[in-house]
Structure 1
Amino acid sequence: MSSLRVIKPGPLSLLQDAGRFGWQHLGVSPTGPMDPLAAAWANRLLGNPRQCAVLEIALGGVELEAEAALWVAITGADMPLSVDGESRLNWSRFRLEAGQRLQVGYARHGQRAYLALAGGIRAEPVLGSVACQMREGLGGLNGQGHRLVEGDLLAGGSGNFPRGASVPWPWQPDYSVAQVLRVVIGGDAASFDEDQARAFFERPWQLSSQSDRMGARLEGEPLVPPQRQWSQGVVSGAIQVPPDGQPIILMADRQTMGGYPILGWVHSLDLGRLAQCPANQMLRFTVMSLDDSQDELRAFYSFFGR
């Protein structure tokens, strides 16, 4: 078994796998990576199943030391990478020799990078998943929902590759460009006044600094939501409009029930691009059909596996 010792954990580095499912009826969040596409590519570069655990590195500032020779892959945000001071490419896999140190600098574009080990990062599952949910105290390396700390050990399996490899550049997202996110209209959309539903797509929105893994909060000219007197189950990507008219988009660590009116859902694969946006970035939204959304998800699962 190969492993990496944590020298510097960074501001918020969390163990994540594909998510914790089958427990939402008890109020347990599914969690999982904020950018599922980047996490899936990290695993694919090493021949891992998509469900294998990866390290989600928020903002950067991480340093890891190899305790034995091993292969790693890193994707996601544009963070400077180096091994003992020698630069490495992002969206690629490469080998570390015993004693070498991998330095991950602070993000230039994007917010989250994903580090995978051959065979996946090993930890004991809690409710069927190692995904770290700090609010509920579940998952992570110790099973209690803790972020990475200095001295932690990331253990992986064995892997051997003839050479390094990178994701072809046309498939690498550009996190530096303005983001237009696609939305499937539904939920309580018919209960909104027509001009209010249309205004969501016509107005620019600013991503609030209060956003987190639970929800992306938008700031702009308020909408006027309809009243609703009951709660219902919610899913990731749901666009809730609370009484103050400032929409909230539910993310990976979302709650499982909500009472605010829902205008629609951000396309599942666009949630990753939203998760890579810095605070105060301007966002716009556009309508997409349910059929197109399902076609893209089928292609994603066909390529990366369920």
Structure 2
Amino acid sequence: MAFKVIKPGLLALIQDLGRHGHQSIGLTTGGPMDEVAFRWGNALLDNDSNSAQIEITFGMFALEAQDDTSIAITGADLAATLNDKSITPWQTYAIKQGDVLAFHQPVWGLRAYLAVKGGFHCEPTLGSVATVVREKIGGLTGKGDKLQKGDVLVYKACSDHQQRSVPRLAIPHYGNKEIPVILGYQCQSFSSLERANFFSSDYRVSSNSDRMGYRLEGKAVHSDLKGIISEGIAYGAIQIPKDGQPIVLLQDRQTIGGYPKIGCVTRVGGSILAQQKPGDIIQFTPITVDQAERERHLQMARLAQWR
């Protein structure tokens, strides 16, 4: 009643929807970088929306099934194979004892999600199993360790499989390089010219990007503020440090920061951004809070209708 890790890959982590309510003591939320893909993985299997999954970054990850179950794969296409036969994401698959599931290098996207019927069984830490390596919390050991060769991922065996796939219109378009941004209350400290430069320029994803944040390289933008008193950091906040190169703070972000922020990437936009690889080019586009809320409600309504 488990998967055994054969190849650990570059970075494979146990995640749920995150560890909430603890930022006051300096603990970040963690959780899936691509929340849309994560939620669809659980929906395909009729799991609770918070059931634990594996987030696989870049691939090179393989497991062997110890018992029958059903799985769902969503997110990036990491050239997955089941017993050496190619399979595609955004649908479910029946797994038999002894089957080998492998993820290779990306065809498109960067992060894939592996859900199992009933979710992976892990002991939560502060109410969540979300793995945050930097804070040494969550995951299989409770100490923030990424998955290693020989790890055993427990699930409840299941022989009742239902073939399902996500509707085409609900699958995110990871080739869309326009990332929606809500302007923040500090945006007035950026001149009209600086804001125009920010929204009209191409930005390259830096190799120095991770689950904490995406560092971008491109047209520098500058604020009239020399610095601010450190304050709480929201998901998707776009910090502008002294060199003018934006940093989009994501799931493993620090809880406070002292750089001016031009705005905030939406949840849906953050999911698209998290699938971009170092070297990929993106652009930012401004939207209103109302537009962001409608976008969010549409995503959640599609999931609710499916369920």
Deviation larger for 226-235 or 93-102: 226-235
Q: Distance in 2 between matches of 1:85 and 1:91?
A: 19
- Which sections of structure 1, spanning at least 5 residues, go unmatched? none
Secondary structure at 1:242's aligned position in 2? Answer: coil
TM-score between the two structures when normalised by the length of structure 1: 0.95
Change (3 A) 1:245 1:133: same
Alignment of 1:82-121 (within 5 A): 82-121=81-120
- Deviation of 1:288 after TM superposition, in Å, equals 0.7
Cα contact 1:132–1:140 (8 A) shared by 2: yes
What is the aligned counterpart of 1:197 among 195, 198, 209?
195
* SS, match of residue 13 in structure 2: strand
Find 1:223's aligned residue among 211, 221, 241.
221
Contact 1:50 1:304 in 2 (8 A): no
Name whichever of 199-208 and 227-236 sits farther off.
Answer: 227-236
Partner Cα distance (1:169, 1:3) in 2? 31
Which moves more between the two structures, 71-80 or 165-174?
165-174
Residue number in structure 2 paired with 1:248 = 247
Moved more, 5-14 or 163-172: 163-172
* Superimposed CA distance per residue, residues 80-133 of structure 1 (whole angstroms, 9 cap, x where no aligned partner): 122212222211111111111112111111100000011111111011100000
Q: Is residue 205–residue 282 contact of structure 1 (8 Å, CA) maintained in 2?
A: yes
Q: Does the Cα contact within 8 Å between 1:21 and 1:30 map onto a contact in 2?
A: yes
Alignment-derived partner of residue 19 in structure 1:
18
Q: Give the drift of 1:230.
A: 0.6
Q: Which amino acid aligns with 1:241?
A: I
1:158 shift after superposition: 4.4
Higher mean displacement: 78-87 or 258-267: 78-87
Question: Cα gap change, 1:244/1:73 in structure 2, threshold over 3 Å: closer, same or farther?
Answer: same
Q: Give, in whole Å, the separation in 2 of the partners of 1:291 and 1:178.
A: 21
Query: Could you tell me which amino acid in structure 2 is paired with residue 155 of structure 1?
Result: V
Distance in 2 separating the partners of 1:82 and 1:252: 28
1:186: how far off? 1.4
Query: Structure 1 residue 304: deviation in Å?
Result: 4.1
Aligned residue type for 2:185: G
Query: Structure 1 residues 229, 168: CA separation in 2 closer, same or farther (over 3 Å shift)?
Result: closer
Partner SS, residue 165 of structure 1: coil
1:302 shift after superposition:
4.3
- Three-state SS of the structure 1 residue aligned to 2:283 is strand
Cα root mean square deviation, aligned? 1.4
Aligned to 1:6: 5
Q: Secondary structure at the match of 2:252?
A: coil
Match of 1:281 in 2: 280
User: 3-state DSSP class of the match of 1:77?
Assistant: strand
Offset from partner CA, 1:231-283 (integer Å, 9 cap, x none): 11111110110111001000110011011001011111110110000101111
AA at the equivalent of 1:183 = V
After superposition, residues 1-306 of structure 1 pair within 5 angstroms as: 2-175=1-174, 177-225=175-223, 226-304=225-303
Q: Distance in 2 between matches of 1:143 and 1:42?
A: 23
Aligned residues, how many? 303
Distance 1:84 1:228 in 2: 55
Q: Distance in 1 between matches of 2:15 and 2:108?
A: 21
Q: Does the CA contact (< 8 Å) of 2:67 and 2:157 recur in 1? A: no
8 A Cα contact 1:65 1:99, kept in partner: yes
Further displaced range: 270-279 or 158-167:
158-167
- Work out the CA distance in 1 between the residues paired with 2:161 and 2:63: 23
- Counterpart contact for 2:198–2:219, Cα < 8 Å: no
Give the secondary-structure state (helix, strand or coil) at the position aligned to 1:75.
strand
Amino acid at match of 1:205: Y
SS at match of 1:218: strand
Equivalent residues of 2:236, 2:248 under 8 A apart: yes
Q: C-alpha deviations, 1:115-170, integer Å up to 9, x for none?
A: 00111111110111000000000000010000000111111234454532111222
**TM-score relative to the length of structure 2:** 0.95
Contact 1:3 1:70 in 2 (8 A): no
